[in-house]
């Protein structure tokens, strides 16, 4: 096993030697706790476990003069440091981030040769004890064995330093972490040796705010049933060491009684509290009162964790009346298709008086409902409300009557003061369940289809959220066009303010009729027109129109010969595609030029003077000339124009300069498309200016 002991493990080993823990790599971690000299005890002091962490005020310096020697039977996972370290001689500090930013802090040993280590955790929404199990909660830390102050600073290093043998020169400051507003954090400070002098913990240098800006105040007061105790609630937690057990901070107006003791709700297991029970010297009489706070015999009122005091002479009102039978305050509104309602009371009720079979309650209303059971949120045998559960959900909306009566156990509900509840009725409302099912009508077309979608609005629906192929619409009805060939998704979410429902449909279309065809844009007068039908979709019939010259109803008509007019003519060729089932039609059209003749010939002269007549020089009607080559030379044999496209013309210029009047030589070569014959011709042309 020593052969597999890696470098990180060796650094841990040296640190544990310094601790006199006699760490051996082949022992299980749990055995560490059996090998500690002096048999260190399990940590029980407040602040030495995650659940009892000190509350932190960012403006204070925490001076930890002594650390009770103890060890939690847990292993601390450390990112990058395998397998982790024992949780020895720890103190934990908890705080909330009120303004996000960087966190800077310093842990300063009170003696020169002491090494404190630390690790910061984000415990938001988690069980704080999960820090022993889940490394994802670790924010940052430092476990270096260097005798020096440690913490987080702007110049600190990234990553976590693993354990090493002190004294060491490993960095003790980590880079300041970034805290998230509203998140909760725990800082662990650990000392591995059993001799230590303590440390100071201070927060500074970062931009995060971890000091609660809320000032402490009295929130509410309530007398108990017999008027001998008052339960006081505060708006935030205050320090357990800031009150007196005799309750000398409190007094009453009118002063019919005095406070003789004070017992917070959580000081037995935490450092702070927000609820305290005051015991009076004599019972209260029926009256309206003010509970007043002033400095107690300890010189202060109550102090929050930043030592801010509740202002002196602050008062909170309450009323005491000899208990009388109570009635339910109200019944909560039933949720969407809910099978339960909550019945609220002005006082807590005794849980043992709620009949489990629900027979303390009966219901009448728009639809029959049967009570199946009833129960409360019982804490110490008392509940703030009763939950009534029905055998079926409430599907029909309207107003229902809930009657409270004696159950099959022979008793009615009894409140915390022992008062029996009279038979009475309270109403509650329920919303209709809704159905998002929608309908639509269709008008089909050749290129696009028209749809009208609608919802009936039943069951008080007042909100419609349509989504058509990702586009949102918020009306009860909507008309839309879909391409005749398309895949379309439709969704509707409806709500009546309480209930909502969703419906969806997929509409796949393939009824497009699209007319299209190919043909040449010009032909010779002796050549028939050949067309290629490229239409698509569900076509049931066809109609070709060759302008005034003729027509055809065939899908692929035979070649069509236009009349020979001995002059250039222009015709519109049109294709109509029909779908008799849809009653729709689509069309396509193109223009055809029938030239006057197809003899490939070359003019003998041209006049490039921009008068619109004979301004260019080119072979005539050479569109049947394949492998076309045409060149023009001046009298010195210089090439002045060439082209492989018979439609390109010479304008009598070279590089934009008009050439002189004179005779030019041309050469023409091509292969005739119909005969396949290779032709070479040459001649002259006169440029006239």
Tens digit of pLDDT for each residue in 318-357? 999 999 898 998 998 888 999 999 999 998 999 999 999 9
Does 402 share its domain with 456?
Answer: no
| Tokens read off for 317 | 């009102």
Residue 280 in this model has a pLDDT that exceeds 90: yes
Say how many C-beta atoms besides its own lie within 10 A of residue 267's C-beta.
16
> In angstroms, rounded to a whole number, what is the distance separating the alpha carbons of residues 165 and 14?
5
* pLDDT value, residue 82: 85
Nearest Cα to 279, choosing from 250, 301, 242, 304?
Answer: 250
Does 62 share its domain with 198?
Answer: yes
How far from chain centre, in Å, is Cα 286?
A: 54
Q: Is residue 599 part of a domain?
A: no
Does 233 share its domain with 381?
Answer: no
- Non-local (6+) Cβ contacts of 463 within 8 A are 474, 493, 494, 495, 496, 497, 500
Q: Is residue 213 part of a domain?
A: no
* pLDDT value, residue 90: 94
Residue 230 in this model has a pLDDT that exceeds 60: yes
Q: What is the CATH number of the domain that holds 358?
A: 2.60.40.1220
Nearest Cα to 350, choosing from 414, 405, 409?
Answer: 414
Residue 103: band (very low, low, confident or very high) from pLDDT cuts 50, 70, 90: very high
Please identify, among 368, 399, 430, the residue that sits at the C-terminal boundary of a domain: 430
Does 539 share its domain with 660?
Answer: no
* pLDDT value, residue 38: 44
**pLDDT per position as a tens digit, 42-91:** 999 999 999 999 999 988 899 898 888 899 888 999 999 988 898 989 99
Q: Is residue 663 part of a domain?
A: yes
* pLDDT value, residue 5: 25
* pLDDT value, residue 674: 86
Does 105 share its domain with 151?
Answer: yes
* pLDDT value, residue 602: 94
Residue 503 sits at the vertex; the CA angle it makes with 500 and 506, to the nearest 5 degrees, is: 160
Residue 39: band (very low, low, confident or very high) from pLDDT cuts 50, 70, 90: low
How far from chain centre, in Å, is Cα 461?
A: 28
Residue 495: which domain range?
A: 439-505
Please identify, among 269, 285, 320, the residue that sits at the C-terminal boundary of a domain: 320
CB burial of 575-610 (b: ≥16 within 10 Å; e: otherwise) equals bbbbbeebebbbebebebebbeebebebeeebbbee
Q: What percent of the chain has pLDDT over 90?
A: 77
Does 154 share its domain with 225?
Answer: no
* pLDDT value, residue 574: 98
Phi-psi domain of 356 (left: phi exceeds 0; alpha: psi -120 through 50; beta: other): alpha
Does 130 share its domain with 250?
Answer: no
**pLDDT per position as a tens digit, 462-472:** 999 999 999 99
Residue 20 in this model has a pLDDT that exceeds 60: no
> In angstroms, rounded to a whole number, what is the distance separating the alpha carbons of residues 668 and 617?
13
**pLDDT per position as a tens digit, 106-152:** 999 998 888 899 999 999 999 999 999 999 999 999 999 888 999 99
Does 176 share its domain with 223?
Answer: no
Residue 40: band (very low, low, confident or very high) from pLDDT cuts 50, 70, 90: low
Residue 23 in this model has a pLDDT that exceeds 60: no
| Tokens read off for 353 | 């008086």
| Tokens read off for 416 | 């915390």
**pLDDT per position as a tens digit, 151-192:** 999 999 999 999 887 667 889 999 999 999 999 999 999 987
Residue 196: band (very low, low, confident or very high) from pLDDT cuts 50, 70, 90: confident
Q: Give the count of domains, the chain.
A: 6
Q: What is the CATH number of the domain that holds 640?
A: 2.60.40
φ and ψ at residue 31, rounded to 5 degrees: -70, -15
- Cβ atoms of 526 and 563 closer than 8 Å: no
Helix (H, G, I), strand (E, B) or coil at 50: helix
* pLDDT value, residue 60: 85
Please identify, among 381, 405, 430, the residue that sits at the C-terminal boundary of a domain: 430
> In angstroms, rounded to a whole number, what is the distance separating the alpha carbons of residues 452 and 686?
72
Residue 401 in this model has a pLDDT that exceeds 50: yes
* pLDDT value, residue 167: 67
φ and ψ at residue 137, rounded to 5 degrees: -80, -10
Query: Region 615-623: what's the mean pLDDT?
Result: 90
Residue 596: band (very low, low, confident or very high) from pLDDT cuts 50, 70, 90: confident
Question: What single string gives the DSSP state of each residue in 264-282?
Answer: ESSTTTSSEEEEEEEEESS
**Which secondary-structure segment (H or E) carries 553?**
none
| β-bridge pairing 184-191 and 90-96 | antiparallel
Does 159 share its domain with 17?
Answer: yes
> In angstroms, rounded to a whole number, what is the distance separating the alpha carbons of residues 371 and 384?
20
Sign of the four-CA dihedral 217, 222, 223, 229: negative
How large is the C-alpha radius of gyration of the chain?
48
Say how many C-beta atoms besides its own lie within 10 A of residue 323's C-beta.
16
Say how many C-beta atoms besides its own lie within 10 A of residue 522's C-beta.
15
Q: Is residue 135 part of a domain?
A: yes
Q: What is the CATH number of the domain that holds 158?
A: 2.60.120.380
Residue 515 in this model has a pLDDT that exceeds 80: yes
> In angstroms, rounded to a whole number, what is the distance separating the alpha carbons of residues 118 and 111?
17
> In angstroms, rounded to a whole number, what is the distance separating the alpha carbons of residues 481 and 472?
15
> In angstroms, rounded to a whole number, what is the distance separating the alpha carbons of residues 675 and 506?
58
For the whole model, what pTM was predicted? 0.56
Does 264 share its domain with 238?
Answer: yes
Mean pLDDT of the chain: 90
């Amino acid at each position: 096993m020593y052969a597999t002991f890696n470098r990180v493990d060796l650094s841990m080993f040296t640190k544990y030697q310094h601790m006199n823990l006699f760490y051996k790599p082949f022992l299980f971690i749990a055995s560490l706790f059996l090998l500690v000299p002096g048999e260190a005890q399990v940590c029980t002091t407040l602040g030495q476990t995650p659940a009892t962490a000190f509350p932190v005020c960012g403006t204070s310096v925490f001076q930890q003069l002594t650390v009770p020697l103890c060890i939690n039977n847990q292993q601390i996972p450390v990112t990058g440091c395998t397998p982790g370290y024992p949780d020895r001689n720890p103190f934990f500090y908890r705080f909330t981030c009120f303004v996000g930013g960087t966190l800077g802090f310093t842990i300063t040993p009170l003696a020169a040769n002491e090494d404190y280590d630390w690790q910061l955790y984000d415990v938001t929404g988690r069980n704080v004890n999960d820090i022993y199990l889940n490394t994802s909660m670790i924010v940052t830390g430092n476990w270096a064995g260097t005798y020096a102050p440690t913490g987080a600073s702007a110049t600190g290093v990234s990553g976590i330093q693993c354990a090493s043998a002190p004294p060491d020169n490993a960095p003790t400051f980590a880079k300041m972490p970034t805290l998230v507003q509203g998140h909760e954090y725990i800082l662990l400070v650990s000392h591995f040796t059993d001799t230590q002098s303590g440390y100071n913990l201070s927060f500074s240098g970062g931009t995060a705010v971890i000091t609660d800006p809320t000032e402490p105040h009295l929130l509410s007061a309530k007398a108990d049933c017999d008027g001998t105790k008052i339960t006081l609630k505060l708006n935030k937690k205050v320090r357990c060491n800031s009150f007196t057990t005799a309750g000398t901070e409190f007094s009453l107006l009118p002063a019919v009684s005095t406070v003789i003791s004070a017992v917070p709700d959580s000081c037995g297991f935490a450092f702070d509290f927000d609820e305290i029970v005051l015991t009076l010297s004599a019972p209260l009489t029926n009256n309206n009162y003010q509970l007043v706070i002033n400095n107690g015999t300890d010189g202060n009122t109550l102090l929050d964790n930043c030592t801010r005091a509740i202002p002196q002479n602050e008062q909170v009102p309450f009323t005491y009346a000899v208990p009388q039978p109570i009635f339910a305050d109200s019944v909560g509104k039933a949720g969407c298709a809910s099978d339960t309602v909550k019945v609220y009371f002005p006082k807590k009720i005794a849980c043992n008086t709620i009949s489990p079979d629900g027979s303390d309650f009966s219901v009448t209303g728009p639809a029959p409902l049967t009570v199946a059971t009833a129960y409360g949120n019982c804490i110490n045998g008392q509940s703030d409300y009763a939950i009534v559960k029905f055998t079926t959900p409430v599907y029909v909306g309207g107003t229902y009557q809930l009657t409270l009566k004696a159950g099959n156990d022979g008793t009615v509900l009894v409140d915390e003061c022992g008062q029996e509840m009279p038979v009475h009725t309270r109403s509650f409302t329920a919303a209709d369940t809704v159905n998002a099912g929608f309908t639509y009508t269709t008008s089909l077309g050749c290129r696009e289809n028209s749809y009208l979608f609608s919802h009936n609005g039943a069951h008080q629906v007042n909100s419609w959220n349509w989504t058509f192929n990702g586009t949102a619409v918020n009306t009860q009805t909507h008309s839309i066009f879909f391409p005749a060939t398309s895949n379309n998704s439709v969704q509707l979410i409806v709500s009546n303010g309480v209930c909502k429902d969703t419906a969806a449909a997929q509409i796949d279309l393939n009824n497009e009729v699209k007319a299209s065809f190919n043909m040449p844009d010009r032909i010779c007068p002796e050549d028939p027109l050949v067309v290629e039908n490229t239409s698509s979709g569900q076509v049931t019939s066809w109609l070709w129109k060759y302008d005034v010259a003729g027509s055809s109803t065939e899908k692929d008509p035979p070649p069509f010969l236009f009349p020979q007019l001995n002059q250039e003519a222009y015709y519109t060729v049109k294709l109509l595609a029909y779908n008799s089932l849809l009653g729709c039609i689509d069309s396509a059209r193109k223009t055809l030029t029938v030239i006057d003749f197809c003899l490939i010939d070359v003019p003998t002269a041209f006049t490039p003077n921009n008068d619109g007549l004979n301004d260019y020089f080119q072979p005539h009607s050479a569109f049947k000339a394949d492998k076309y080559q045409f060149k023009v030379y001046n009298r010195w044999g210089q090439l002045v124009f060439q082209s492989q496209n018979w439609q390109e013309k010479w304008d009598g210029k070279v590089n934009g300069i008009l050439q002189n009047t004179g005779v030019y030589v041309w050469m023409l070569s091509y292969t005739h498309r119909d005969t396949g014959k290779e032709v070479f011709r040459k001649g002259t042309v006169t440029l006239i200016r």
